[in-house]
């Protein structure tokens, strides 16, 4: 927990000038380890060094479980040649000096890579200059190692702490003057490094947004309409205000969209429990005139009808001649796939603490996009962004839910009516019923193979829910998804089922849905051709090249082939399996990282599935934190398992039918398999894993079931078909 917040002004003041007193990184009462930094000096915005050689590194981006609070400072420490044992990490304040401070798109590492390396390298350069000055030698006779500058000819050494005063007076080098390490010189990156908050987590220290505690704080909750987008007309507020512990209850007028600020009723109380209890006593009359009235079963029936057609007039991609390709095929196969709406459900419910006083707003929030949160609050309140301070807390899960800042604005809207700070906590039921969901889609595929077992045509009718004229964002279907760019006769058309139900990005947007039908149907084609899926995939990938030459965020077929081959090798692909056992393979590429997965499982006659092992191979360039990378891979597989086995959001007349973990289940420990992760550390700048490792699980899993049983699963979730784990 940050006790002292260093804002930009004090930063500038601190640069090169000793600051007296203590700066507390995080407070662990019984287990105080390096929690005090005395007289630190800033060598740049990212790092400070104390005279006793402790190094404090700011982690700029939100920590949502993806591990950046550890991995981003590691990159700084690597180029600084710091001793990691001497490093303390703090969450950075929100400041343009840190660039775009966000958690989304698996981009924290790749977009900050150069900046973080330069921050470490620049400080090291200044320390080298300082040592050379002190010894009156040439700086190129010196080297840095584990917190010391060493004079090579004499072997003399000086600690970073002893040099920091002099280093702070050196010129800051231009990034072009820095010699950064080659990847094979890394000594810290690629190691397994424990999370910097681990001790605080295991001892229950307050870290998260929901843990914020302020003097004289009120507690609140916010009640939104059952049907998405309705307005409260009237409510029994006078009765509610008389309930024990209730300080106030009032109607909050929403903004233009519920993603900015929903209409609703705020209850302010002396405790969260009092507010939650009062919510149950609320009687509200809603104005549903602008609310959603969609019913999922009706939309599904409409989708099923549309899915009878192989194509629509709205073509997204039309390469070659798929219709003729199908006619000329030796064999053809046709399938309809679907997946449902799903919710994000991070375990820390939506919450935010805010104080609105004397025209200034102070916010403590677990968010993925803190800078846009300030922008949203400013736009809606007309308070100047300079008068809005947002403190980032650790985030109890993001998964894309916290890319929307609706709950921040809700807290601010409540705080306007409250004297002193107020902590707003949403109930689990409200979170489940008022999410911005991953939309459902249906797919009709027709594909063919020739006598040699090569694909002759791919015809796909994509039926998406939740878009309007165009299906953008999470409801869209990118035309670059493998294998579309590599198939000559490819026709992709789209139909849109309009809906007012709210949709938004969820971990690996689009890809989280698209991977299952597309990579499953690709397996149907290799099965139709009677070919091994690995060999078939490698043939489709063809020669090694970038699909978009010069664009390192495009698919490189050679890197794809390598992850597939290694996954096959590590999983024992091709081995003879007993009856009822099967292996499934899938490849997916998104967020610049190619990933292959192989699932090895058995299915018994009661459709009970036992997963023996999941093998996952990614090429994210050099791995920053091996422990974090493995964690992300395990998490992606288990998240995928939840989705495949039992998650489905449905709605009736605009009201979501699910409310809590009994009807929206998450995977629990029983049934969780062994998960083995491998990384091809190719010599490209590092990319993320928190999203790319997620999409391939569902198709690899269902391909394995097809291999084990001959049954092709085409609709998620599969518990609806009687499967269990």
Partner 1 sequence: MPIYNLSINGKSITTSNIESDTPLLWLLRDELNMAGTKYGCGKGLCGACTVHMNGNPIRSCQIPVAALGEQNITTIEGIASDNKLHPIQQAWHDLDVAQCGYCQAGQIMSAVALLKETPKPTDEQIEQSMAGNICRCGTYVRIKQAIKLAAGIEDNTAKKMDYSLAKEVK
Among positions 658-677, residues that touch partner 1 (CB under 8 A) are 660-662, 666-670, 672, 674-675
Can you tell me the distance from the alpha carbon of 457 to that of 310, in angstroms, rounded to the nearest whole number?
13
**8 A C-beta contact, residue 440 and residue 340:** yes
In the set 40, 258, 264, 396, which binds partner 1 (CB under 8 A)?
Answer: 396
For residues 491 and 48, give the distance between their C-alpha atoms in angstroms, rounded to a whole number: 57
DSSP for 209-240, please give it: GGG---TT-EEEEEE--SBTT-EEEEE-HHHH
Q: Quote the least distance from Cβ 673 to partner 1, whole Å.
A: 8
Member of 37, 42, 164, 193 binding partner 1 (CB under 8 A): 193
Q: Is 428 in the site for partner 1 (CB under 8 A)?
A: yes
- Contacts (CB under 8 A) with partner 1, residues 502-561: none
Q: Is 288 exposed, middle or buried (0-12, 13-18, 19+ CB in 10 A)?
A: middle
Q: Is 22 in the site for partner 1 (CB under 8 A)?
A: no
Query: Among residues 346 and 502, whose Cβ is nearest to partner 1?
Result: 346
Stretch that binds partner 1, among 222-230, 424-432, 615-623, 701-709 (CB under 8 A): 424-432
Out of 42, 492, 637, 718, the only residue in the binding site for partner 1 (CB under 8 A) is 637
Of residues 205, 393, 519, 709, which one binds partner 1 by CB under 8 A?
205
- For residue 437, state whether it binds partner 1 (rule: CB under 8 A): no
Is 394 a residue that touches partner 1 (CB under 8 A)?
A: yes
Polymer length in residues for the chain:
725
**Interface segment toward partner 1; rule CB under 8 A; list 150-158, 194-202, 435-443, 477-485:** 194-202
Q: Answer yes or no whether residue 104 interacts with partner 1 by CB under 8 A.
A: no
Task: Give me the residues paired with residue 351 across strands.
Answer: 425
Q: Segment 146-185, which members bind partner 1 (CB under 8 A)?
A: none
Residue 32 lies near partner 1 (rule: CB under 8 A): yes
Structure tokens at 543: 């020669």
Q: Nearest CA to 517 among 609, 447, 417? A: 447
Under rule CB under 8 A, residue 196 binds partner 1: yes
Nearer to partner 1, 2 or 562 (CB): 2
Other C-beta atoms lying within 10 Å of the C-beta of residue 627: 16
DSSP summary character for residue 720? G
On the 0-12 / 13-18 / 19+ scale of CB atoms within 10 A, 171 is exposed
Q: How far is CA 277 from CA 270, 282, 407, in A?
A: 12, 9, 20
Task: Identify which of 427, 392, 7, 419 has the alpha carbon closest to the alpha carbon of residue 215.
Answer: 419
Listed ranges 36-44, 198-206, 544-552, 644-652: which one lies at the site for partner 1 (CB under 8 A): 198-206
> Which residue's CB is nearer to partner 1, number 170 or number 426?
426
Sites for partner 1 among residues 286-345 (CB under 8 A):
345
Rg of the chain, C-alpha, whole Å: 28
The piece of 128-136, 170-178, 420-428, 546-554 that touches partner 1 (CB under 8 A) is 420-428
**Token pair listed for 87:** 């490093």
Site for partner 1 in 467-496 (CB under 8 A): none
Among 200-208, 450-458, 703-711, 714-722, which window interacts with partner 1 (CB under 8 A)? Answer: 200-208
Report yes or no: 123 and 75 within 8 Å, Cβ to Cβ: no
Does position 61 bind partner 1 by CB under 8 A? no
**Segment lying near partner 1 (by CB under 8 A), choices 534-542, 574-582, 635-643, 703-711:** 635-643
Residue 598 · residue 614 · CB < 8 Å? yes
CB under 8 A: which stretch of 270-278, 318-326, 334-342, 702-710 binds partner 1?
A: 270-278
Residue 44 DSSP label:
E
DSSP 49-99: E-TT--EEEEE-S--SSSSHHHHHHHHHHHHHT--GGGEEEEEPPS-GGG-
Terminal C-alpha separation, the chain: 40
Which region among 205-213, 555-563, 588-596, 597-605 touches partner 1 (by CB under 8 A)? 205-213
Instruction: Give me the DSSP letters along 98-142.
Output: G------TT-HHHHHHHHHHHHHHHHHHHHHHHHHHHHTS-GGGE
3-state secondary structure of 282: coil
- Can you tell me which of 241, 277, 379, 715 binds partner 1, judged by CB under 8 A? 277
Among 145, 192, 234, 470, binds partner 1 (CB under 8 A): 192
β-pair type (22-24, 231-235): unpaired
Given candidates 12, 17, 201, 721, which one binds partner 1 under the rule CB under 8 A?
201
* 3 forms part of the interface with partner 1 (CB under 8 A): no
Determine, following the binding rule CB under 8 A, whether residue 281 of this chain makes contact with partner 1: no
| CA separation, residue 36 to residues 27, 406, 602 (Å) | 9, 36, 54
Judged by beta carbon, residue 582 or residue 635, the one nearer partner 1 is 635
Provide the 10 A C-beta neighbour count for residue 379.
Answer: 14
What 537-544 contacts at long range (C-beta under 8 Å, 24+ apart), as own/partner pairs, is 537/564, 537/585, 537/587, 538/564, 538/565, 539/454, 540/455, 540/483, 540/486, 540/487, 541/486, 542/486
CB of 693 to partner 1, least distance (A): 11
> Residues touching partner 1: how many (CB under 8 A)?
82
To partner 1, the closest distance from the beta carbon of 545 in angstroms equals: 35
Shortest Å distance, C-beta 23 to partner 1 = 16
If one asks whether residue 276 binds partner 1 (CB under 8 A), the answer comes out as yes
Residue 498 interacts with partner 1 (CB under 8 A): yes or no: no
By CB under 8 A, residue 271 contacts partner 1: yes
Least distance (Å) between residue 87 CB and partner 1: 6
Shortest Å distance, C-beta 343 to partner 1: 11
Residues 400, 635, 646, 696: which binds partner 1 (CB under 8 A)? Answer: 635
Instruction: Please select the residue that binds partner 1; options are 21, 153, 204, 359, rule is CB under 8 A.
Output: 204
| Member of 99, 206, 385, 453 binding partner 1 (CB under 8 A) | 206
**Six-digit token string for 540:** 């489709």
Among 3, 12, 13, 31, binds partner 1 (CB under 8 A): 31
Q: Which two tokens stand for residue 275?
A: 């507010």
Chain centroid, CA 508 distance in Å: 7
Report the C-alpha gap between 427 and 436 in whole angstroms: 16
Smallest distance from the beta carbon of 608 to partner 1, in angstroms?
15
Six token digits for residue 356: 């609105």
Residue 541 or 645 with smaller CB distance to partner 1: 645
Q: Which of 11, 186, 219, 424 binds partner 1 (CB under 8 A)?
A: 219
- Residue where the block lists tokens 């398999």: 673
338-357 binders of partner 1 (CB under 8 A): 345-349
Residues 62-101 that bind partner 1 (CB under 8 A): 63-67, 70, 84-85, 87-89
Three-state DSSP string of 382-415: CCCHHHEEEEECECCCCCCHHHCCHHHHHHHHHH
Question: Least Å distance between CB 195 and partner 1?
Answer: 6
When the beta carbons of 167 and 716 are compared against partner 1, the nearer one is 716
Which of 30-38, 444-452, 552-560, 571-579 is the region at the interface with partner 1 (rule: CB under 8 A)? 30-38
Q: Are 578 and 707 in contact (CB under 8 A)?
A: no
In the bound state with partner 1, the residue whose beta carbon lies nearer, of 58 and 442, is 58
Which one, 272 or 593, has the nearer CB to partner 1? 272
Task: Report which of 595, 574, 576 is spatially closest to residue 584, judged by C-alpha positions.
Answer: 574
Whichever of 458 and 701 has its CB closer to partner 1, that residue is: 701
Whole-angstrom distance, CA of residue 482 vs CA of residue 478: 10
Shortest Cβ distance from residue 598 to partner 1 (Å)? 17
The minimum distance between CB 146 and partner 1, in angstroms, equals: 12
Query: What is the CB neighbour count within 10 angstroms for residue 187?
Result: 13
């Amino acid at each position: 927990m940050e006790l002292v917040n260093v804002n930009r002004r004090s930063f500038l003041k601190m640069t090169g000038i000793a600051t007296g007193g203590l700066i507390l990184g995080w407070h662990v009462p019984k287990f105080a380890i390096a929690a005090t930094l005395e007289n630190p000096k800033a060598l740049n915005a990212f790092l400070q060094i104390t005279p006793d050689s402790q190094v404090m590194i700011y982690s700029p981006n939100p920590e949502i479980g993806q591990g950046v609070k550890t991995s981003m400072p590691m990159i700084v420490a690597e180029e600084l040649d710091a001793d990691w044992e001497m490093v303390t990490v703090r969450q950075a304040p929100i400041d343009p000096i840190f660039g775009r401070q966000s958690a989304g798109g698996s981009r924290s590492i790749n977009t900050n890579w150069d900046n973080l390396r330069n921050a470490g390298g620049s400080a090291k350069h200044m320390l080298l200059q300082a040592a050379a000055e002190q010894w009156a030698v040439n700086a190129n006779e010196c080297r840095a190692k584990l917190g010391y500058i060493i004079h090579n000819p004499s072997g003399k050494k000086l600690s970073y702490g002893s040099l920091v005063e002099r280093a702070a007076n050196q010129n800051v080098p231009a990034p072009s003057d820095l010699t950064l390490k080659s990847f094979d010189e890394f000594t810290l990156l690629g190691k397994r490094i424990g999370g910097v908050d681990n001790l605080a987590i295991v001892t229950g220290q307050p870290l998260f947004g929901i843990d914020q505690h302020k003097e004289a704080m009120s507690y609140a909750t916010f009640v939104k309409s059952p049907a998405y987008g309705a307005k409260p007309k009237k409510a029994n507020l006078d009765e509610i205000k008389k309930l024990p512990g209730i300080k106030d209850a009032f109607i909050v007028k929403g903004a233009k969209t519920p993603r900015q600020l929903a209409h609703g009723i705020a209850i302010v109380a002396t405790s969260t429990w009092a507010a939650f209890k009062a919510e149950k006593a609320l009687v509200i009359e809603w104005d549903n005139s602008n609310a959603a009235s969609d019913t999922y079963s009706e939309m599904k029936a409409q989708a099923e009808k549309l899915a009878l057609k192989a194509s629509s007039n709205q073509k997204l991609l039309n390469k070659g001649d798929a219709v003729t390709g199908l006619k000329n095929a030796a064999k053809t196969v046709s399938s309809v796939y679907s997946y449902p709406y799903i919710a994000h459900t991070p375990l820390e419910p939506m919450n935010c603490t805010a104080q609105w006083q004397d025209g200034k707003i102070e916010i403590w929030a677990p968010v993925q996009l803190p800078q846009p949160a300030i922008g949203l609050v400013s736009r809606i309140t007309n308070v100047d962004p300079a008068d809005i301070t947002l403190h980032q807390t650790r985030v109890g899960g993001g998964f894309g839910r916290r890319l929307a800042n609706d709950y921040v604005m809700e807290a601010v809207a409540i705080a306007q009516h409250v004297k002193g700070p107020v902590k707003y906590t949403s109930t689990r039921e409200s979170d489940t019923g008022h999410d911005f969901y991953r939309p459902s889609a249906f797919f009709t595929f027709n594909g063919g193979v020739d006598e040699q077992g090569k694909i002759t045509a791919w015809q796909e009718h994509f039926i998406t829910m939740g878009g309007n004229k165009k299906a953008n964002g999470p409801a869209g279907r990118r035309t670059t998804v493998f294998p579309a760019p590599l198939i000559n006769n490819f026709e992709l058309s789209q139909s849109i089922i309009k809906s007012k139900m709210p949709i938004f990005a969820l971990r690996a947007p689009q890809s989280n849905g698209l991977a299952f039908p597309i990579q499953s149907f690709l397996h149907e084609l290799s099965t139709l051709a009677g070919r091994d899926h690995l060999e078939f995939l490698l043939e489709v990938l063809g020669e090694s090249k970038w699909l978009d030459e010069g664009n390192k965020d495009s698919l490189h077929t050679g890197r794809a082939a390598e992850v597939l081959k290694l996954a096959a090798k590590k999983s024992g692909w091709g081995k003879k399996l007993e009856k009822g056992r099967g292996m499934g393979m899938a490849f997916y590429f998104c967020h610049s990282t190619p990933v292959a997965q192989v699932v090895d499982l058995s299915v018994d006659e009661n459709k009970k599935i036992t997963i023996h092992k999941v093998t996952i191979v990614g090429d994210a360039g050099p791995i920053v934190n091996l422990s974090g990378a493995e964690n992300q891979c395990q998490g992606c597989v288990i998240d995928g398992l939840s989705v495949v086995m039992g998650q489905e959001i449905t709605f009736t007349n605009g009201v979501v039918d699910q409310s809590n973990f009994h009807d929206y289940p998450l995977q629990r420990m029983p049934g969780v398999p062994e998960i083995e992760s491998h990384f091809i550390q190719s010599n490209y700048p590092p990319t993320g894993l928190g999203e790319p490792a997620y999409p391939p699980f569902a198709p690899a899993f269902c391909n394995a079931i097809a291999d084990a049983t001959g049954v092709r699963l085409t609709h998620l979730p599969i518990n609806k078909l009687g499967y269990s784990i």
